[in-house]
C-alpha cells in the first residue's frame, strides 16, 4: 500500500522504500515476463527481486515458468540455481513433479489436462510462504490458456512468467504485456560486445506492432510464409519456412504485407531487401523471439527502407545485468550499466550489487 510518505508496506509489515527500481512500472501491466538472454544472466535473481517487493495486499499475483526450468542445479553449467521463494497469498503454476517437491503449504485450485514432461500443470495458492521449483506450460497455446484462466477465473491482477528464451519451447514470453530483460557476462565477457548484442535484442523487442487488420488475419497462422495483397486477400507462398532455398516472390506485386510465421533468418531478409518489387512491403513476424538475424543484416534491411513489424509485443520496462560470468570473470558493473543504458535509452540495473533488499 502506498502511504503518504512514499513508502510501500508488504504483508509481513516490512517497508520498501519507494524508488526501488521498476516495481511501480510492473504494476501498470497485467502480465510480465522476465527473460534471460543466456543462462546465468541473473533471470532468477531478478524474479526473486520482483517477487520480494510486489505489494500483495491489494494485488493478486500468479507466477509460472515456460519450459522445463527451476532445477536446483542448472543442468548445463552445474551452477547453483535457487528455488523461487513465494510469499503467502501468491498463486503459482508448476508441474506435478515439482508440486510434490514443494516446501510450502499451498491450496490446489486447478489441475490442467495438458501434460508436460514433468506431468500436468497444477495451479495453487501459497497458504504459507516457502520454496517452489517452477515449471509451467510448455506450448504457446497452453501458456495463453493458463494466463487467461488466471485472469478471468481466478481474478489475478498480474501474471509473471519466468521466461526462458529457448528454441526448444514454443511458448514465447512475448505473450506478456511487459518484459524485463536479464543480460550479463554469461552472454559475453567483452563489455562492448555485450552492449551491442544486448542492444540488438532490445531493438527487436521494441519493434512496432503491425496494424490491427493484419493482426486478425495473421494471428491464427502458425507456420508457413504468407502475404496479403492490396485487396486484403491472404495468399500462401509455396516455401514452408524462411529457411527454404527456393523462395520465389511471384504474384506479389503491389502486396503490402509479408508474414513469416516461423523463424526469420538472414538469407530471407537479404532476399526481401534485394527484391525490387518488395520495396513497399511490411515484413511481419509473430514476435521478437522468432527473429534470428544478425545485427548487420537487420541494419542493412532498415537502412534500405525496410520495415519489420510484430504481432505480439511486450513493453520493455528495464534491463538487468549480472556482471559475473559462470566461469568467474567479473565485468565492471558501473561501466557496464552506464554503457548499456546509453545504448538502449532505458534504465539498467545490477540488482545484486546495488543490493535492493527490503528485509
Partner 1 sequence: MQLKNVIESPCGLRFMLDQLELQSGFARRWLLDLPMMTRGEEIAAAYDELHRFTSFVEQVDKTRLDTLLFRLQGLKDIRTTIKNLHNKAVLDDIELFEVKHLAILATDVNTLLARHDMADVVEIPALDEVITILDPDGMKMATFYIYDSYCAQLKDLRAQIRQHPDHQDDLMLQASELEETVRQDLSRQLHLFAAAIEQALLALARIDVDLAKALQMRQMGMTFPTLTDDGTTRLEAMFHPQVQQALSTRGREFQPVDIAFGHRPTLITGANMGGKTVVLKTLTLCQYLFQFGFGIPAAKAQIAVKDEIYFCIGDDQSVEKGLSSFAAEMQNIDAVIKASRENKKLLALIDEPARTTNPTEGAALVTALLQVLADKDMSLVMTTHYDIESGKARCLRVKGFENGSMDYRLVEVQDGEVPHEALNIAQSLGIDSEWITTARKLLESAVQHV
User: Which positions touch partner 1 (CB under 8 A)?
Assistant: 88, 96, 99-100, 103, 105-109, 111, 113, 122, 124-125, 127-130
CB of 10 to partner 1, least distance (A): 14
* 3-class DSSP state of 240: coil
Encode 137-161: b = buried (16+ Cβ within 10 Å), e = exposed: bbebebbebbbebbbeeeebbbbbb
| Residue 16: half-sphere exposure toward Cβ, Cα within 13 Å | 26
CB of 59 to partner 1, least distance (A): 20
User: Residue 62 in contact with residue 93, Cβ under 8 Å?
Assistant: yes
* 3-class DSSP state of 273: helix
CB of 119 to partner 1, least distance (A): 9
User: Residue 138 in contact with residue 164, Cβ under 8 Å?
Assistant: no
Cβ-based nearer residue to partner 1, 71 or 114: 114
Cβ-based nearer residue to partner 1, 82 or 213: 82
CB of 137 to partner 1, least distance (A): 17
State which H helix or E strand residue 123 sits in: strand 119-126
The Cβ of residue 239 has, within 10 Å, a number of other Cβ atoms equal to: 16
CB of 149 to partner 1, least distance (A): 12
Position of cell 543462462? 39
CB of 122 to partner 1, least distance (A): 6
Please give the backbone phi and psi of residue 354, each rounded to the nearest 5 degrees, phi first.
Answer: -75, -10
Q: For residue 283, list its beta bridge partners.
A: 258, 308
CB of 107 to partner 1, least distance (A): 4
Position of cell 543490493? 355
CB of 109 to partner 1, least distance (A): 5
Cβ-based nearer residue to partner 1, 43 or 53: 53
Q: For residue 95, list its beta bridge partners.
A: 121
Cβ-based nearer residue to partner 1, 79 or 128: 128
Residues in CB range of 303: below 8 A, 6 or more apart: none
Cβ-based nearer residue to partner 1, 144 or 353: 144
Q: State how far the alpha carbon of 241 is from the alpha carbons of 268, 301, 330, 336, 344, in Å.
A: 9, 19, 40, 38, 31
| Residue 272: half-sphere exposure toward Cβ, Cα within 13 Å | 31
Cell of residue 260, nine digits: 513469416
Position of cell 525496410? 306
Cβ-based nearer residue to partner 1, 100 or 299: 100
Residues in CB range of 277: below 8 A, 6 or more apart: 249, 252, 253
CB of 110 to partner 1, least distance (A): 8
Cβ-based nearer residue to partner 1, 132 or 272: 132
Cβ-based nearer residue to partner 1, 11 or 79: 11
Cβ-based nearer residue to partner 1, 110 or 270: 110
Amino acid at each position: 500500500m502506498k502511504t503518504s510518505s512514499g513508502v510501500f508496506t508488504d504483508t509481513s509489515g516490512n517497508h520498501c522504500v519507494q524508488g526501488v527500481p521498476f516495481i511501480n512500472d510492473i504494476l501498470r501491466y497485467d502480465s510480465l515476463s522476465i527473460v534471460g538472454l543466456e543462462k546465468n544472466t541473473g533471470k532468477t535473481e531478478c524474479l526473486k527481486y520482483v517477487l520480494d517487493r510486489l505489494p500483495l495486499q491489494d494485488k493478486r499475483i500468479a507466477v509460472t515458468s515456460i519450459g522445463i526450468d527451476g532445477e536446483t542445479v542448472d543442468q548445463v553449467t552445474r551452477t547453483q540455481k535457487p528455488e523461487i521463494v513465494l510469499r503467502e497469498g501468491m498463486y503459482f503454476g508448476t508441474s506435478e513433479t515439482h508440486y510434490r517437491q514443494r516446501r510450502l503449504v499451498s491450496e490446489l485450485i486447478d489441475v490442467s489436462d495438458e501434460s508436460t514432461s514433468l506431468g500436468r500443470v497444477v495451479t495453487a495458492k501459497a497458504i504459507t510462504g516457502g520454496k517452489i521449483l517452477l515449471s509451467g506450460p510448455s506450448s504457446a497455446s497452453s501458456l495463453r490458456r493458463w494466463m487467461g484462466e488466471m485472469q478471468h477465473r481466478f481474478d489475478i491482477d498480474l501474471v509473471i512468467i519466468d521466461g526462458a528464451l529457448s528454441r526448444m519451447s514454443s511458448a514465447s514470453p512475448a505473450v506478456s504485456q511487459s518484459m524485463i530483460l536479464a543480460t550479463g557476462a554469461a552472454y559475453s565477457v567483452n563489455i562492448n560486445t555485450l552492449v551491442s548484442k544486448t542492444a540488438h535484442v532490445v531493438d527487436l523487442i521494441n519493434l512496432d506492432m503491425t496494424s490491427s487488420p493484419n493482426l486478425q488475419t495473421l494471428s491464427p497462422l502458425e507456420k508457413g510464409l504468407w502475404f496479403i495483397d492490396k485487396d486484403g486477400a491472404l495468399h500462401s507462398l509455396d516455401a514452408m519456412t524462411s529457411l527454404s532455398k527456393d523462395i520465389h516472390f511471384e504474384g506479389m506485386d503491389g502486396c503490402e504485407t509479408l508474414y513469416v510465421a516461423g523463424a526469420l533468418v538472414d538469407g530471407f531478409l537479404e532476399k526481401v531487401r534485394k527484391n525490387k518489387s518488395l520495396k513497399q512491403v511490411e515484413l511481419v513476424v509473430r514476435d521478437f523471439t522468432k527473429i534470428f538475424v544478425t545485427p548487420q543484416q537487420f541494419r542493412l534491411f532498415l537502412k534500405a527502407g525496410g520495415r519489420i513489424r510484430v504481432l505480439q509485443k511486450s513493453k520493455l520496462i528495464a534491463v538487468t545485468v549480472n556482471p559475473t560470468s559462470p566461469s568467474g570473470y567479473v565485468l565492471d558493473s558501473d561501466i557496464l550499466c552506464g554503457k548499456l543504458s546509453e545504448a538502449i535509452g532505458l534504465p539498467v540495473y545490477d540488482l545484486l550489487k546495488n543490493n535492493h533488499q527490503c528485509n
